[in-house]
Structure 1
Amino acid sequence: MEEAMTTNVRDQVIAIIAEQAVLDVSQVSPEMSLEDLGIDSLGLVESIFAIEEAFDISVPFNANEPQKNEFDISSVSAIIRAVENLVAERA
């Protein structure tokens, strides 16, 4: 069951990020950064809101101070890990 949840989180996060980047999910890989994908600060905030809504979680992210956040946005895989952790904490 845990494996299915992890795959589901990964796929959903990638789909949300791909939508913000106006890319196909096949063009988004875990090692890419949001900058690589052309996602600006507004796209980042919209991605965070979409992630919160999709997983019914609260992401500890302050758009005014993105470098001081607990939520790691350094890469797609970092975002996936952070979301998995938040989902696990909620469960």
Structure 2
Amino acid sequence: MSVKDKVIQIIAEQGLLDVADVSLTATLEELGIDSLGVVESIFAIEEEFDIEVPFNANAPQESEFDISSVATIISAVETLVAEQT
């Protein structure tokens, strides 16, 4: 399974959605994922990929990790995974 597919699966689980309902252009808010869900998604991504996500839940807009859409999350995770190897 690709990074993209795993991230979409994690986001779908957090939003209690079907994977098919997770659009790349959607924001987490549009998918019904609240701030707690965002944090839980970040933890799940860290655990799944064994990476550390530079995300500050207290100041998400100041984080290096872009959560503005599903596509930007996937891109950021792909970068972190690539840097790890």
Shared fold (TM-score, shorter chain, > 0.5): yes
| Structure 2, gaps ≥5 residues long | none
| 1:44-68 deviations in Å (ceiling 9; x for gaps) | 0000000000000000001000110
Query: Residue 30 in 1 paired to residue 24 in 2?
Result: yes
Tell me the equivalent position of 1:87: 81
Count of residue pairs the alignment pairs up? 85
Tell me the equivalent position of 1:49: 43
Tell me the equivalent position of 1:77: 71
Give 1 or 2: higher helix fraction. Answer: 1
Using structure 2 for the length normalisation, give the TM-score: 0.98
Which amino acid is the alignment partner of residue 79 of structure 1? I
Which amino acid is the alignment partner of residue 22 of structure 2? V
Structure ID, larger Rg: 1
Name the % identity.
69
| Structure 1, gaps ≥5 residues long | 1-6
Using structure 1 for the length normalisation, give the TM-score: 0.92
Deviation (angstroms), 1:25: 0.1
RMSD: 0.7
Deviation (angstroms), 1:29: 1.0
Which residue of the other structure, out of 59, 63, 66, is the alignment partner of 1:65? 59
| 1:3-49 deviations in Å (ceiling 9; x for gaps) | xxxx6100000000000000000000100000110100000000000
